[in-house]
Amino acid sequence: MYEASIKAQLIDIAKEVRDLVEDAGKAAPTPSGGMISDWLGMCQTCEDRLQDDLLRMAAVGTIKSGKSTFINSLFSGDHLKRGAGVITSIVTKVRAADNLRAVLYFKSWGEINEEITQSLRIFFAAGMRPGKEPFDIRESQDRIWLERALESLESKYLLSNDTRNMDHVLLGAYLRGYPDVKEIVSDKNRAVYYEKDEFSRHRDFSGSEYLSAFLKDLKLEIPADSLETNIEIADCQGSDSPNPLHLAMIQDYLQTADLVVYIISSRTGLRQADIKFLTMIKNMAGMNHVLFVVNADFSEHDSVADLERVAGHVREELALMISDPSIYIFSSLFSLFSSTRSDLAEKDRMRLAQWEADNELVSFSRQEERRFQEDFRKMITEHRFSILLKNQMHCLDELLQGLGEWLGLSRDVLTTDNAGAAGLLDKIGKVQQEADRVRSMIQTTMEGSVSQLKKEITSEVDKFFDIRHGNLVPGIIEFVRGYRVSYEAFQPLLEKGDFSDALFSMFQAFKQDLDRYMAENVNPVMIGFIKSKEGEIARYFESLGAPFRKMIREADSSNFSSSTEEPSLSLDLSTIKKSRGISIPSAAATLDYSGTLKTEAFMKLGFYRFTSGVKRLFKRSGSPENRDLPALKAGVRRVKKETEASLVFYFKSYKENIKFQYFFKLIESISEEMRFQMVNRFSGYQADLLQLKRLADENRDARGSTISAIDDIQTRLAAVKRKMEKVRDSL
């Protein structure tokens, strides 16, 4: 619990600093509030960031690799539903807490109906939906109509390339789950809490493909002495889920994760699906903080040597993607059973007893698990935790330094005679003028630099998203144009004269393959590009600040103090983005191209009117398959053309969104943070002290008590500084 102790100490120190600032404002009040008001704002920001200091770890891997079991073993209890399958579309987030609590965040009726409408557009062409009113699942006639429509489609559209059609799955889930949630879901997003004895009810939703469709988010709080309360562990969907949206959701969480634990089943070793997913993580520039757990199945291995053989193969294959991978071999299920022994069913107690009889295997697994826990804690501490704490320590140092100088100058003004005070204020005024000059120089330079950086980012973003020569769109267009359709698969439909069904089935398979291409190939490259530009932006500002630091030190009003250190600059992008509400567009957003595609290819053109028009291009002679096959090929060409146009339009819009709503906002926010850090010590001391001097002259009887109060605050401030030094020495 070392990290939690350091964090708690800093939170206490931040509160003490805030009390000091408030007391200083009471002891030496100024009508405008002056620096006291600014410092109180800094105190609040520092406290907020310490309280919201969350570290994120993603547990990922293929379906049935043991991700939920692994997380359950960390929390020493069977809390997450194991083997929930591939349909659940929720990343379950788990945190250590004092009591059991599950928080289920439900979609609103508006969001649910909108999702249904989107799927209906792709399933039911113009003319199939009676009436023009919006679909509302709360209306019984709409549910009856949808149920009948799905039944009529089931035999034709249930599978796309041997995979369950995800639109069909979603529509069916909403229908089947509706009776159980109709009293829970509302017109607004709603959170439902299951605590203590009711905690396990969350499994009814997380483990059901029907009920999970209604969830927007799922968070679990579980007591765990071995884990810090500021660590969130995410149980992600299987990386080989057939639903591209699941993969996009994993990608979204990986962008925020500080650490990734990749689970590999010892039964299968590293499979092609693992290689594909790990390559994706690498393209996202996210392989720097990954731990690999070979989840041992004791029932499949009769010796440590056999386990090490599997791990050796895994290590060899991983070495092709990452140098010196960190690999750990232990059984999460054995660990879970060991910690929940008294609650096990008889069958599981027998399995545990059988495993425990193999001392060598058990000893090896426990040793590897301890090694993992040590390295896991070390990586968390060194990577993100220390960065977060050091940033807030820097903030507190600045506050203490500035407050100390302000108190010292205030006391000098109050204890010096009129002539001495006038000379002191005159000296402060000259320093203030120099500070203003440097501040103005920084402001001007920053404005010019921000403008130039925006131009450079604009050029690079435009180049990356260029339709013909960029890193992204040409590959997507090539995929669309080169997509091969197996026309033989549609012959049975053509022979029955079901031309529309054949074309629609083709489109379903094409769209699902395109969605997966987007999730597997487009998103990782795009996320990797964004991360690389983020790093370049941060380095640009850090190098920009270097020439100013010495200048600030010389011009700073701290000329009245003994400190000679140059002000440091600390830019933590994740903290800056979170405090200003800046985030990368969701990875799932790349699949929104289909919204435009659905409208243009089917609604606007009218799917059935379109297919009829294509068929009229060909003579109605011969057998149905002979006259319809050329029409089907023409329909494929038209679908590809419409898809390409939709993709080009979509990525033009996406490019502008990334540019203006993300990169430009990030640049402006870093610029503001940097200006604040570099010039916040350029205080309005002169105005504050002049007001203090005037008030003291008007009420000379209060001068003594003001000086006494300042002396008391200075004594307390020195004690807080000593606490800070102890914390710093412990890091």
- DSSP assignment string, 47-97: HHHHHT--EEEEEEESTTSSHHHHHHHHTTS--SPTT--S-----EEEEE-
Question: Which residues lie across from 163 on neighbouring strands?
Answer: 160
Alpha-carbon distance 692 to 29, whole Å?
7
Among 173, 162, 196, 159, CA closest to 90:
173
Alpha-carbon distance 676 to 702, whole Å?
35
Query: Residue 218: how many CB atoms within 10 A of its CB?
Result: 21
Stretches where the chain sits below pLDDT 50 are 31-32, 86-88, 125-128, 557-558, 560-564, 598-611, 613-615, 617-622, 625
Strand ranges across the sheet with 92-96? 190-195, 101-106, 215-222, 92-96, 231-235, 55-61, 259-265, 290-295, 326-330
Please report which helix (H) or strand (E) contains residue 589, including its range. Answer: none
CB 21 within 8 A of CB 399: yes
- For 105, 193, 262, 344, the CA distances from 201, given in Å and listed in that order, are 14, 10, 28, 19
Helix (H, G, I), strand (E, B) or coil at 346: helix
- For strands 231-235 and 92-96, give the pairing: antiparallel
Tell me what pLDDT residue 558 has.
Answer: 46
Burial 87-126 (b: 16+ CB within 10 A, else e): bbbbbbbbbbeeebbbbbebbebeebbebbebbbbbbbbe
Question: pTM of the full predicted structure?
Answer: 0.78
Among 201, 207, 197, CA closest to 99:
197
Among 656, 524, 461, 50, CA closest to 255:
524
Tell me what pLDDT residue 600 has.
Answer: 44
DSSP label of 470: S
- For strands 163-164 and 55-61, give the pairing: unpaired
Alpha-carbon distance 59 to 511, whole Å?
29
Tell me what pLDDT residue 611 has.
Answer: 47
Tell me what pLDDT residue 33 has.
Answer: 54
Question: Which residues lie across from 292 on neighbouring strands?
Answer: 262, 327
Tell me what pLDDT residue 387 has.
Answer: 63
Domains of the chain, earliest start first: 61-107+189-357 (3.40.50.300), 111-178 (no CATH), 444-683 (no CATH)
Give the phi and the psi of residue 436 in degrees, each rounded to 5.
-60, -35
DSSP string, 133-162: SPP-TTSHHHHHHHHHHHHHHHHHHSEETT
- For strands 55-61 and 259-265, give the pairing: parallel
